[in-house]
Structure 1
Amino acid sequence: MLKEIEIQNFRCFEQIKISGFERVNLIGGKNNAGKTALLEALLLNDAPQARSLVTLKALRREPSKVIEAMPDRAWDNLFYLLDKGKVILIIGKHENKEIHQIEVSIDKSSNLKEIFSNKDAGEVIDFLSSNTSGLSVLTIKLTRNDEEPIKSSVIASSKGVITSNIPNTDGSSPIIPSFMRNSGKNLTEAYDRARLDEKDSEVLKAFQVLDPVIESVESFSIGEPMLYLRRKGESRLPLSLFGDAINRVADIILKLVNNEHKILLIDEIENGIHYTNQQEFWRVLFRLAVELDTQIFATTHSLEMLQAFADVGLKTNQECSSAYFELAKKPKTNQIIGIRRDLETLNYALEHQKGVRGE
């Protein structure tokens, strides 16, 4: 379990260190305080591979046509103040004393044939080798404790983005953005996987937090695969007709129960979830985090979601450890800092209407 992260020259962070992570962690702060950027740094710490850098661009909805038009500027906004001359450094310290050091940098010296060592990439290598003037190579290097570093690279060119052939775990990403809605096909495939592992009942339980009269979940592959829900006394209806909250909860729970990363990152967790259901939803997440040995990081703007988090975390029989982290900018330097609040302090501040979101 991750206990501390240090970030340098990444996104809006010149330098920041945040310590004291628990099993379930909630992150708050004003707009542009770095909440999403922190989740992205946590993603790189968990999956320090070239394809994770591509995932970050997709999460920011960066158009591929812009990359193709200006490949030399494809990676600029990953760097603090767009300064590609500096190295991005992310250091994660874990409960078991393991240390991950991730370095991300523009690589001006890489041999493309070394990056793409697999035989199937021969044609790609030939093409890229003849178009080196329009290329931008980004390399990510992972060092675990004193082990030999592991490198992978991603190349932006006028033909798009290509990653080196470094395998990852299951092809999925443990991050859930605030705005993207997962496809019915992806959710159905994830549900079938959960059902194969006898974890599909957790999906129904989560749906019933939002709508107690939902009594069954089924997957069908007539045309495009789709999940169907049945409410008591009613016919089956496709998941897509139940609104954004149900779809988002499905994505969260399925990523959690199928997760091989042992970490789940949720941006703006309150989206779509009515305040009357938030406490019960946190109970589900706290329980599953312990049962599945998974660490959860979520961001929020919502005072109601903060209060629900504190209420559940402070229950006397609560086995899951939790903490709240507030991101704020120093008035004089504008540098972002992370402040850890235990739940008693958070609850006191909420009850006395004190600022807890970077105010």
Structure 2
Amino acid sequence: MAGLPPSNAPPSWRNNPFSRNSPSPSPSSAVGGSMRPRSAIYSSPLTPPAAHARGQSFSTLGPPSATATIPRGRQRADSKATPLSNTFAPDFIKQEEKQRAADQIRSIEGENDFSGKRYVWAKDPVAAFVKGWVVEETSDGRLLIQCDDGSQREVGAENVDKVNPAKFDKADDMAELTHLNEASVVHNLHMRYQADLIYLPIYTNEYINMYKGRSREDTKPHIFAVADEAFRNLVEEGENQSILVTGESGAGKTENTKKVIQYLAAVATSDSPGGARSGAKQLSNISQQILRANPILEAFGNAQTVRNNNSSRFGKFIRIEFTRSGQIAGAFVDWYLLEKSRVGRMPEDEG
């Protein structure tokens, strides 16, 4: 029987993919030297639960603050990412920050001034919503509104919504809006569209480097931030992780699942030893095999609906196995909750 190590023996160390040059203690070894892989599991259920997450998003994508606290004793990874000069993605980020700063300056100078005025959104049959300020409130609870287009209208107090201050214009995380209502969401999306701040190239390798090893509090909302947090917990704490992708039909659950696989494959490959080119190639092949299996499953489990021409009518369960050093060792894909009723009967206008 093997003897126990002395009490003063140094702890085992391993290379942490998120600490660059500094080692960190490895999870305790399994009994008998077993190197059982850890796994990251995620799936997309057919019927999502009702939920509303409010994240922190207005912090910049710069290096984390030195005074930030780290929960559960987790070590802060070195956040010096690959230089991103002359790349497409950071230019959009800088442009967005400049535009929002200019909007805030204009609001301070008097444009869209809220001092002494009560701004509201009123419904309009043509423009959907128009902004104006309350001139007078009658005794019967109706409001006389002076609209920005120069017109005046009288509406009921229950038919208006509050307007957010100008500092929230072009907000990247609408969960942070002070007044979260339909009119404010439509207005914010409209302003971002006019400023060309939609459909950005936010899934490139540059963005992978920007989110790699950083906490969600230090970055803006992104599927890469969710995947990175799960991967860091997997590697640093040695615990299995689960990512549950939910949403309404057509919300992008399948595509977001693909982006999670893309991110995990990228960070696992980039942190492999310099001489292990064959290992990096094998990791790429595994991720490609997972992605290429999707069309096969979709051919039998997807259908056209009123809201989505390629709707997944089944749940997908994907398990990715990792080694203790954070490398992909294998994967497993399974399906469940297939909508069998479509075999014999389909709703009208659906296929």
Same fold (TM over 0.5): no
Higher strand share: 1
Larger radius of gyration: 2
How high is the TM-score relative to the length of structure 2? 0.24
How high is the TM-score relative to the length of structure 1? 0.23
